[in-house]
Amino acid sequence: MKISLKAARVNADLTQQEAADKLGISKYTIINWELGRTKPKKCVLIALAKIYNIDIKNLKG
C-alpha cells in the first residue's frame, strides 16, 4: 500500500520545516508536494524515502 508524502512525513515525526531543512529546500516546496500542486523528482523521492525511513516503493509521490 502506498503512503502519501504527508502521511510519511507525519509518521517520521517531522514538521514540514524539519523535512525541508534536511533537504535544503523551502518548506513551501514540501507544502506544494503534499498538496499535489507539484511533484518531486525521482532523486528527491529517494531522499525523502530515506529521511522518512520508508521504502520508496511504498511512497506515493
Q: pLDDT, tens digit, for every residue of 18-45?
A: 999 999 999 999 999 999 999 999 999 9
Residue 31 Rama label (left phi>0; alpha psi -120 to 50; beta):
alpha
Q: What's the predicted TM-score (pTM) here?
A: 0.91
Number of domains composing the chain: 1
CA angle 11, 1, 31 (to 5 degrees): 45
Instruction: Find the CATH number of the domain harbouring 53.
Output: 1.10.260.40
Could you tell me the pLDDT band of residue 1, with boundaries at 50, 70 and 90? confident
Q: Give me the domain span that covers residue 50.
A: 5-58
pLDDT at res. 27: 97
Residue 61 has pLDDT above 80, yes or no: no
